[in-house]
Amino acid sequence: MKLLIWLVIVALVVAWIMRSKKAPVQNEGGIRQSQDVGGHLKPEAMLQCARCGTYFPASEAVTLASGRVFCSEEHRRQAVPGD
């Protein structure tokens, strides 16, 4: 019985260690985010959409040559008629 308890404890510790060494974190959209040495997510700049005013991560920006940024391709098309 004593051996069984020790085996369970060892298995839990090994599982905990394996889980903590997991691959890079994926957010809800499935986009991988880089981590620093401590395993924390690196902060990312937030931008504001020129069409709707919503804030979104800079990595998801749709940008015009003029420098205006949009949260989606749809908002970019609405802002530039005939494009």
pLDDT by 10s per residue, the chain, length 83: 889 999 999 999 999 888 877 655 555 555 555 555 566 777 889 999 999 999 999 999 999 888 899 999 999 998 877 66
Task: Give, as one character, the DSSP assignment of residue 2.
Answer: H
Is position 34 within any domain? no
Could you tell me the two tokens for 59? Answer: 């990595």
Domain limits for position 52: 44-83
Residue 20 lies in a domain: no
Total number of domains in the chain: 1
Assess if residue 38 is contained within a domain. no
Tokens 């395993």 found at? 39
DSSP assignments along 7-69, one per residue: HHHHHHHHHHHHHHTPPPPB-TTS-B--B-TTSPBPP--EEE-TTT--EEEGGG-EE-TTS-E
